[in-house]
Amino acid sequence: MPSFISIGGVWKPAQEKTVVEGQDGSPEIYEGLDRAAKEVLEKENVSSLGMDVTKDPENIMRARQLGMTVDEFLKLNEPPTPETKAAEEKKKNLVVDHATPKKKRGVRSTKGGFGDIPK
């Protein structure tokens, strides 16, 4: 069964490491592109499958509808990095400590009232 790897929507053969029978019948280790995937590409007479996501007409149309470039539109679907996840979690759990207010000039007490009543 062929195995491919997709990079930006373009499918190319994945790396393979296996034991194969050599020319003299002895076992040899094969490391390289997936042989079954290379056969599929040769049969189709192409070098890769799929389409580059930056050239996909649907992505271009949606990006224009949103008033963005294609790269900006594609970044909307990228999973958040651990650093951004941690920053968002920190914002959710943020506790704001308000500083003790400074006393204003002429005010004797912060417990309410107008101070001493003049006689």
Category of 83 on φ-ψ map: left (φ > 0), alpha (ψ -120 to 50) or beta: alpha
Residue range 71-100: mean pLDDT, rounded:
84
Residue type, 118: P
Task: Judge whether 102 and 110 are in contact, CB under 8 Å.
Answer: no
- In this predicted model, which residue has the larger pLDDT, 119 or 94? 94
Looking at residue 37, the DSSP 8-state letter turns out to be H
pLDDT bin (cut points 50, 70, 90) of residue 38 is: very high
Q: What is the Cα–Cα distance from 18 to 12, expressed in whole angstroms?
A: 18
pLDDT of res. 93: 81
Q: What is the Cα–Cα distance from 85 to 68, expressed in whole angstroms?
A: 24
Average pLDDT, the chain: 85
List the beta bridge partners of residue 19.
Answer: 29
pLDDT bin (cut points 50, 70, 90) of residue 69 is: very high
**C-alpha angle 98-102-105 in degrees, rounded to nearest 5:** 160
